Structure 1
Amino acid sequence: MGDSPGLLGLLGRRGGPAARTPTVLACAQRAGYVPEGTHRARTVHHGSRRDAWIAALLPQDLGRAPSVPYPGGPAR
């Protein structure tokens, strides 16, 4: 997800046994990533479409100034 300078994104598959244990999303949240939503039918796993979650980490989330101004963004 390197389409925007200063933005780090994660995309992970929803569902399956791992969804019932501490997940990558939970680890990402502890690291400061903010969940942004679900991409429906985003990935293919074993021949079938699966939903995926997306989370992002902005420079502001780490107390840093963004490389490009983001006036509409949340104040953190």
Structure 2
Amino acid sequence: MAPVKLIANIKTVTSRLIRQEFAGHLEKFYGDKKVFWTGSYFIASCGGVTIEQLKSYVQDHAYPVGQFPSR
């Protein structure tokens, strides 16, 4: 299975499960929005990146405006 398909499947299933279990709580934050996850993802092999590169990616990843407090 191609990585992009795997990630899409994971996002689909986890979105459905999270929305079912936490529907009331999520409605406060997402309202009627149909999209739970962003379209982006990061994937690398064990030897493909350094821990510093991974940390940098996670720390610099942009969040939707107003969704998370500033760092």
Decide which structure has greater strand share. Answer: 1
TM-score grouping bracket, smaller chain normalisation: under 0.3
TM-score normalised by structure 2 residue count = 0.28
Decide which structure has greater helix share. Answer: 2
